[in-house]
Amino acid sequence: MAVKLLMTWNIQTGREQEYFEFVVREFIPQMQLLGLEASDAWVTVFGSQPQILVTMKTNTMDSMRQAVRSQEWDQLTDRLLDYVEDFHYKTVAARPGFQL
């Protein structure tokens, strides 16, 4: 069963440029090295929802568990927290289209 990792956060004010450089150069490539495939990225431009929603996929729950329990995951999400706040994530069974 395919599994999605849904991550949400808000970019810290004044850190937007550094954030985007980090995400493009490090975050997404290192997530892929953990076996997570980039699926979706959404930006909220109006409203009180999290500013960013990023979705990564794996083919199995075991591979997802292995990725999010790794030391590399901890280091990568710690680095992300240098640029964002209100970081949350959860795993769900993958369905086509947008998922919250």
Write the secondary structure of 6-49 as one string of H (helix), E (strand) and C (coil).
Answer: EEEEEECCCCHHHHHHHHHHHHHHHHHHCCCEEEEEEECCCCCC
What number of H helices and E strands is found in the chain? 4, 4
Q: What is the pTM of this model?
A: 0.89
Task: Give me the torsion for CA of 78, 88, 86, 29, rounded to 10°.
Answer: 50
The structural domains of the chain, ordered by start, are: 3-93 (3.30.70.100)
Q: What is the pLDDT of residues 17-49, one digit of tens each?
A: 999 999 999 999 999 999 999 999 999 988 889
